[in-house]
Chains A and B, each alone.
Chain A
Amino acid sequence: MRSSSLQFRFTSLIFVASFICLFCIADVSAQDSITLGVVLPTTGGEAKAGQYQKEGIELAIKQINAKGGILVKEKGKKLPIKEIFYDNGTDSAKAASLVERVMSSDKANAVIGGYSTALGEAESVMPDRYQIPWITAGAAATSIFSHGYKYTFGALSPIFLLGTTTAEFLGSLVDQGKLKKGLKIALVVENTDHGVDYVKGIQDWISKHPGYFTVVLSEKFELHGTDYSGLLQKVKTSKADIFLSDAHLPDYITMQRQYLQAGLHHQIISYGARGPEADARKALGAGTDYILAALWWSDKLPYPQAQKFISDYKAAYGRSPDSWYAATAYDATRILAQAIEAAGSTNSSKIRDALAKAELKGSLLPGQVLKFGANGQADYPFLVTQNKPGDKVDIVYPKDAATGPPIAPRP
């Protein structure tokens, strides 16, 4: 009896020891790749943009892995990138917990995520807690980068700059004589830090350039709304000449549809960083013509690397990258790969330090260089595009990148 109990204990001990060894082996084999956590919305309200970002990241990973991976000096060899993807379902709480999971349980060396501002804000508290670098390629509100976090990076220029670029472009239309001085603006923005920064950017430019424009209405709306008739009535009664909104894709489509149905007309319409998306064209047809958008990227950029990206993307997914979503995610992955190579290590702190100094030359983005500022956020110029009849989109600002003239006021 006693001997069988001992035998049982011995067998159990061997079993537990083998189990632990198995884990050790698994862990050693895990170090033969670089684990990249990707947390994005591929379901829910932001599914569309999240899907494009995921595709951009996966295209970059595929290209890097096709070359054997990233050279990591301390390992003395190239390591492939292993992606661990989680869908946050456009839910802030889920987004934060998934980033925590990928950093703590999955032991990711770095994480890319954070589309959109609301989801990015929720995720941004995790990187410093786990000391693992996190790059957002889809959230640009200044608030995310104002907490002094060290492991948080953003591949999008600030929304404040989006606002000032939009106002600066409108100012240039006044200087060209296309718009009159002193026009009235109605500002209708989403009730997030994204919207707040956009308004600040517009008002900052207006306050520095008196006489150009006056803001007669400034309103916020909740994300993913279904009815804007009351709000649009307010816009109508404000008798504004210019209608500037800052909205996400679903809200842009719903609001523009109701705007047109209400028979409204303004000399200029813009929905911030939304405008040329194929979904909007599909839903509204010519109803999106002449809409202006200030963007982080456009497929009309003449850079050879941008054109190569478009053809690679088409070959991989059978369609063009819609608007800027995939391009910023693609470059976020590329700059991360460059930083890992510069760090020569898979140590997250070393990768973080290398990211802070990284400079991606040959970037797809305006200016062709992607680097992060002291607060971790990129700061490259915006482009202004305009939808034109026949599904055409032109870059209309800045002048040196323009592919066509701006049409203002709207016919």
Chain B
Amino acid sequence: MTASDYLDLIIKSLLLAGIYAAMAVGMTVIYGVMKIVNLAHAGFLMMGAYFAFVLFNRFHIDPVLGAILALPAFFLFGMAMHWLLVRWLPKSDTPTLSSLLLMFGVWLVLQNLGYMIFGSEDSSILTPRTLASVQLGNISIPLVSLIVFIAAVVSLVLLQIIFNRSWFGRSMRSLIQNPYAAKIVGVDDERTARLTFGLGTAFAGFAGALLAMLYSFNADFGRPFLLRSFVIIVLGGLESVSGVAIGALVLALLETFSVQVLPASYQPAISFALLVVVLIIMPKGIAGLLQRKLKVT
């Protein structure tokens, strides 16, 4: 392989990391505050994809604009979902079986609704930019992947700003760090949880709409992304937005480069292996490891 081939692979890994970060960030937000492993995330991704598809097909709205419109729509949907179902779950500092079962059930219901409404047909969004690429010397950069990458970076930065600067972000952080102390100083945990669930669902819908530009989809869309999303948030540290970026990048680099030396059929096994290794060696993820190192030095 030439230096240009390596550069090509690095760029492809970065773009893939963008896709992974976009799909995982919503799940991280919900886990961080509510300690819910949101298995319905796959269903929200699927709904986001169909949201962009319907807007594109019926109203000729560009899928990028569709993804932006998905943010407020799914924020409200997530809040409604919280009010209707999630708020009844028992409060806990650790993921509970009841939350896992509830979210799994929600996913199955959403999936079957998808089949009822859209059938088993695969849908896709074909625009002039679907197959377009930006040429950088010998290297082709797919335009839609680049758009998803930029959107992922913007949403991570935005989320970090919300986390650090807003009243809501401070409430979220305090609940992540110490829910009991947060309540003592007056943080409304119920309201914060509702907004957090809305925010996580909004980013899931946003990601689904973006992914609809990259893949064909049906009601089962989201399933292959679920495990990777989980690996990324475990890798990055279960409660950290910046950790999502690190986790997505590590997984993307590993998957892309490992194929050059290992048979390509081992690619999915890498996610599983990484999940096991991370859970054993650094249960707080890479972000936790870096924080510990910084404290030591």
B257 contacts chain A at the CB level, 8 A cutoff? yes
Residues of the B chain whose Cβ atoms lie less than 8 Å from the Cβ of A225:
224, 267-268
- Provide a sorted-by-A list of 17 A–B residue pairs whose CB atoms are within 8 angstroms: A42-B120, A43-B115, A48-B218, A220-B263, A225-B268, A226-B224, A227-B267, A230-B12, A233-B9, A234-B264, A236-B5, A237-B5, A253-B124, A263-B135, A284-B130, A285-B126, A285-B130
User: How many angstroms from the CA of A257 to the CA of B216 in the assembled complex?
Assistant: 10
User: How many angstroms from the CA of A221 to the CA of B267 in the assembled complex?
Assistant: 8
A279 touches B216 (CB 8 A): yes
CB distance from B246 to the nearest CB of A (A): 19
Residues of the A chain whose Cβ atoms lie less than 8 Å from the Cβ of B122:
48, 249-250, 253, 279, 283
Residues of the B chain whose Cβ atoms lie less than 8 Å from the Cβ of A209:
none
B265 contacts chain A at the CB level, 8 A cutoff? yes
A359 contacts chain B at the CB level, 8 A cutoff? no
Q: A50-B120, A254-B216 are in contact. List 8 more A-B contacts (CB 8 A).
A: A47-B120, A220-B265, A224-B224, A230-B264, A231-B259, A257-B131, A279-B124, A284-B130
Classify chain B: how many residues form its interface, as a range. Answer: 35 or more
**Which residue of B15, B142, B228, B267 contacts A222 across the interface (Cβ within 8 Å)?**
B267
CB distance from A325 to the nearest CB of B (A): 12
A253 touches B216 (CB 8 A): yes
**Which residue of B124, B224, B260, B263 contacts A233 across the interface (Cβ within 8 Å)?**
B260
Closest residue of chain A to B144 (Cβ to Cβ) is A261
Q: Which of A220-266 contact B (CB under 8 A)?
A: 220-222, 224-231, 233-234, 236-237, 249-250, 253-254, 257-258, 260-263
1/0 per residue B236-257: CB within 8 Å of A? 0000000000000000000111
**Which residue of B120, B145, B260 contacts A43 across the interface (Cβ within 8 Å)?**
B120
B5 touches A227 (CB 8 A): no
1/0 per residue B257-277: CB within 8 Å of A? 111100111011000000000
Residues of the B chain whose Cβ atoms lie less than 8 Å from the Cβ of A51:
119-121
1/0 per residue A255-281: CB within 8 Å of B? 001101111000000000000000100
**Which residue of B119, B121, B145, B258 contacts A230 across the interface (Cβ within 8 Å)?**
B258
Residues of the A chain whose Cβ atoms lie less than 8 Å from the Cβ of B131:
257, 260-261, 284-285, 287
A221-B264 contact in complex given A254-B215, A254-B216, A283-B126, C-beta closer than 8 Å = yes
Top 6 nearest A-B pairs (CB, nearest first) are A230-B259, A263-B140, A261-B142, A47-B120, A283-B124, A191-B265
Residues of the A chain whose Cβ atoms lie less than 8 Å from the Cβ of B111:
43
**Which residue of B143, B255, B260 contacts A234 across the interface (Cβ within 8 Å)?**
B260
B5 touches A283 (CB 8 A): no
B166 contacts chain A at the CB level, 8 A cutoff? no
A residues sitting closer than 8 Å to B (CB atoms) are: 42-45, 47-48, 50-51, 90, 188, 191, 219-222, 224-231, 233-234, 236-237, 249-250, 253-254, 257-258, 260-263, 279, 282-285, 287
Closest residue of chain B to A43 (Cβ to Cβ) is B115
B133 contacts chain A at the CB level, 8 A cutoff? yes
B residues sitting closer than 8 Å to A (CB atoms) are: 1, 5, 8-9, 12, 15-16, 19, 111, 115, 119-122, 124, 126, 130-131, 133, 135, 140, 142-145, 214-216, 218-220, 224-225, 228, 255-260, 263-265, 267-268
CB distance from A107 to the nearest CB of B (A): 28
Is chain B's interface secondary structure helix, strand, loop, or mixed overall? helix
CB distance from B54 to the nearest CB of A (A): 15
Contacts between chains A and B (CB distance < 8 A), count: 124
User: How many angstroms from the CA of A188 to the CA of B259 in the assembled complex?
Assistant: 13
CB distance from B50 to the nearest CB of A (A): 15
Residues of the B chain whose Cβ atoms lie less than 8 Å from the Cβ of A43:
111, 115, 120, 219-220
**Which residue of A90, A188, A234, A257 contacts B130 across the interface (Cβ within 8 Å)?**
A257
CB distance from A272 to the nearest CB of B (A): 16
B260 touches A258 (CB 8 A): no
User: How many angstroms from the CA of A50 to the CA of B119 in the assembled complex?
Assistant: 12
User: How many angstroms from the CA of A219 to the CA of B262 in the assembled complex?
Assistant: 10
A229-B216 contact in complex given A219-B263, A257-B131, A284-B131, C-beta closer than 8 Å = no
CB distance from A66 to the nearest CB of B (A): 26
CB distance from B111 to the nearest CB of A (A): 8
Residues of the B chain whose Cβ atoms lie less than 8 Å from the Cβ of A233:
5, 8-9, 12, 256, 259-260
User: How many angstroms from the CA of A108 to the CA of B296 in the assembled complex?
Assistant: 69
User: How many angstroms from the CA of A50 to the CA of B267 in the assembled complex?
Assistant: 27
A263-B133 contact in complex given A230-B257, A283-B126, C-beta closer than 8 Å = yes
CB distance from A365 to the nearest CB of B (A): 25
A221-B265 contact in complex given A51-B120, A227-B16, C-beta closer than 8 Å = yes
CB distance from A196 to the nearest CB of B (A): 11
CB distance from B23 to the nearest CB of A (A): 10
CB distance from B215 to the nearest CB of A (A): 6
User: How many angstroms from the CA of A111 to the CA of B282 in the assembled complex?
Assistant: 51
User: How many angstroms from the CA of A50 to the CA of B122 in the assembled complex?
Assistant: 12
Residues of the A chain whose Cβ atoms lie less than 8 Å from the Cβ of B115:
43
User: How many angstroms from the CA of A191 to the CA of B264 in the assembled complex?
Assistant: 9
User: How many angstroms from the CA of A237 to the CA of B259 in the assembled complex?
Assistant: 13
Residues of the A chain whose Cβ atoms lie less than 8 Å from the Cβ of B268:
222, 225
Closest residue of chain B to A259 (Cβ to Cβ) is B131
B264 touches A48 (CB 8 A): no
A234 touches B259 (CB 8 A): yes
Residues of the A chain whose Cβ atoms lie less than 8 Å from the Cβ of B144:
261
Residues of the A chain whose Cβ atoms lie less than 8 Å from the Cβ of B119:
51
User: How many angstroms from the CA of A227 to the CA of B18 in the assembled complex?
Assistant: 13
CB distance from B222 to the nearest CB of A (A): 11
Closest residue of chain A to B135 (Cβ to Cβ) is A263
